[in-house]
Amino acid sequence: MLIVMKPVATEGDVARVCRKIESMGYRPHPMPGAQRTAIGITGNPGPLEPAEFETLPGVAEAIPVSKPYKLVSRELKIDDSVIHVGPETGGFDIGGQELAMIAGPCAVESREQIFAAAESVCRSGARLLRGGAFKPRTSPYAFQGLGEEGLKLLAEVRREFGLLIVTETIDPENCDLVEQYADVLQVGARNMQNFSLLKRVGRSKKPVLLKRGLSATLEEFLMAAEYVLAEGNYNVILCERGVRTFADHTRNTLDLSVIPAVKSLSHLPILVDPSHGTGRRDKVIPMARAAVAVGADGLIVEVHPNADHARSDGYQSLYPDQFRELMREVTSIAAVLGRTTAWSPAELAAQN
Ligand code: PEP
Ligand code: MN
C-alpha cells in the first residue's frame, strides 16, 4: 500500500498518517518528492483497506503497489533520488547533474600504491576513490586485502586529496569496522543476496553501493535493494557490473539495457562498472562511453598506477593516462545529455 499525500498536505498530516501506520503495527516510510510526499508501508502481512487512510486529512489516495518491491519503486517516488555522500556540507550528490566518477584500484595494496592511484584519479577529475580493503576472492589462497590497515590508508587518502571513499564490506560483523572509515559501503556482486549483510547496511547511516549479482535478474536486483530500504536506509546506489553469459570474449556481459529498465521501474540512481563488466582493459573505455550514453548516473572504474603488477584485477585496470582519456570522452558524451563531470567546458576544450 502506498499513501499519496496531497501537494498541500502539511508535515502534521504526514506525521498523523505515519502514527496511524505504526499503531497498526507496521512501518511507515515517508518519501518526500518535488510535487508530493508518498508514504510506503512495510510489515503488513496482506492488503490493507484504502478507506482507513483516505479519510485522514491531507491524503490524496491510498493505492496498492503493483510490484513485489515497494520502496525502491517509482510508484512510490516519481522523482529520481539523489544520494548525498560525505559530510553534510561539501561531499557529492550521486544521481544529480554531475556524473559520479569513482576510480581507483581493485584493492588497496600499499601506501605507495593507493597514494599514487588517488593522486592520478584526483588529477583526472574523479571525486570518489574506490579500493577494497576486504576482498571477496574466488580462491581462498588469493590476496584477501589489507583489512583495517587498508581502511586506515583510505582514510589518510581522503584527508590528503579530499576524495570520498567507496570500499567493500563483506559481512555484517565486518560492516561495524568498514562503516567507521567508508563514505560509501560497497556490497559486492557475490553478496547481493547476502540478506543479513543487506539488513546490516540497511541500518547504517552510510550510503550503500549495491552491485548486481553475477546472475541476478532485474527483479532480484531491485528486491536486494528493497532489503536495504526496508531497514530505513534509503541511500542506495545501484551498480550494473556485468552478468555471466556464454560469451567468452569478455569476463562478463555488461547488460547496459538494464539502465533504462531500472530508470523506468525505480527512483534509485544506477552506476556502471565497465571494469568488471568486461574484464579487459581495452574494452573499458568503449563500454564507459556507452554506459554514459544510455543514461548511467556515473561510473566505477578500476585504475592502477602499476596495473601490470596489480595484486588483483590488473588486466582490467586502466593505466592512469587511460583514465584521463576516459574522462575526456565521457565528458563530451555527458554534455549531449545535459550532464557534466568535474571537467569544466574550458578544461575539455583545452584537451580536445
Ligand atoms: C570489486 O569492485 O572489486 C568487485 C569485487 O566487484 P564485484 O563485486 O562486482 O565483482
Ligand atoms: Mn576488482
Fold of 2-63: Alpha-Beta Plaits (3.30.70)
pLDDT computed for residue 32 by the predictor = 93
Neighbours of 289 (CB within 10 A): 17
Residues near ion ligand 2 (Cβ under 5 Å)? 106, 313
Cα dihedral 289/80/93/199 (nearest 10): -100
In this structure, the strands spanning 2-5 and 37-42 are antiparallel
Determine the atom of ligand 1 nearest the C-alpha atom of 300.
2
Angle between helices 281-293 and 320-336 (to 10 degrees): 20
pLDDT computed for residue 256 by the predictor = 98
Residue 90 Cα to ligand 1 middle (Å):
27
3-state secondary structure of 208: strand
pLDDT computed for residue 295 by the predictor = 98
Flag whether the pTM goes above 0.85. yes
**Residue of 170, 276, 278, 303 to mutate, ligand 1, most atoms within 8 A of C-beta:** 276
Which listed ligand is nearest to 186 at the C-alpha?
1
Rounded to a whole number of angstroms, the CA Rg of the chain reads 21
Cα dihedral 242/246/248/252 (nearest 10): 10
**Is residue 89 predicted with pLDDT exceeding 80?**
no
**Residue of 106, 192, 243 to mutate, ligand 1, most atoms within 8 A of C-beta:** 106
Longest dimension (CA), the chain: 66
Closest by alpha carbon to 264, among 49, 37, 53, 78?
Answer: 78
Q: What is the mean pLDDT of the chain?
A: 97
Determine the atom of ligand 1 nearest the C-alpha atom of 190.
8
Q: Are 333 and 326 in contact (CB under 8 A)?
A: no
Residue 130 Cα to ligand 2 middle (Å):
10
List, for residues 289-345, the tens digit of each pLDDT value: 999 999 999 999 999 999 999 999 999 999 999 999 999 999 999 999 999 999 988
State percent of the chain over pLDDT 70: 100
Q: Which residues line ligand 1 (CB under 6 A)?
A: 106, 132, 188-190, 211, 241, 273, 276
CATH 3.30.70.1140 in the chain: give the residue spans.
Answer: 2-63
In this structure, the strands spanning 100-104 and 298-302 are parallel
3-state secondary structure of 243: strand
In this structure, the strands spanning 236-240 and 270-272 are parallel
- What does 18-47 look like in DSSP terms, one character per residue? HHHHHHTT-EEEEEE-SS-EEEEEES-SS-
pLDDT computed for residue 90 by the predictor = 86
Cα dihedral 262/71/233/6 (nearest 10): 120
pLDDT computed for residue 345 by the predictor = 87
Locate cell 496482506: which residue? 46
What distance in Å separates the CA atoms of residue 123 and residue 161, rounded to the nearest whole number? 10
**Residue of 241, 253, 270, 278 to mutate, ligand 1, most atoms within 8 A of C-beta:** 241
Which listed ligand is nearest to 190 at the C-alpha?
1
List, for residues 269-290, the tens digit of each pLDDT value: 999 999 999 999 999 999 999 9
Confidence of residue 199 (pLDDT cuts 50, 70, 90): very high
3-state secondary structure of 145: coil
CATH 3.20.20.70 in the chain: give the residue spans.
Answer: 83-351
List, for residues 4-14, the tens digit of each pLDDT value: 999 999 999 99
Residues in the chain: 352
pLDDT computed for residue 316 by the predictor = 98
Locate cell 556485468: which residue? 242
- What does 161-207 look like in DSSP terms, one character per residue? H--EEEEE--SHHHHHHHHHH-SEEEE-GGGTT-HHHHHHHHT-SS-
Phi-psi group of 43: left, alpha or beta (phi > 0 → left; psi -120 to 50 → alpha; rest → beta)? left
What distance in Å separates the CA atoms of residue 122 and residue 332, rounded to the nearest whole number? 19
HSE of 202, CA atoms in CB hemisphere, 13 A: 18
Q: Are 135 and 151 in contact (CB under 8 A)?
A: no
Residue with CA closest to ligand 1 atom 9: 189
List, for residues 105-154, the tens digit of each pLDDT value: 999 999 999 999 999 999 999 999 999 999 999 999 999 999 999 999 99
pLDDT computed for residue 351 by the predictor = 84
State percent of the chain over pLDDT 90: 94
Fold of 83-351: TIM Barrel (3.20.20)
Please compute the mean of the pLDDT values over residues 21-41 and round it to a whole number. Answer: 95
Confidence of residue 87 (pLDDT cuts 50, 70, 90): confident
pLDDT computed for residue 88 by the predictor = 78
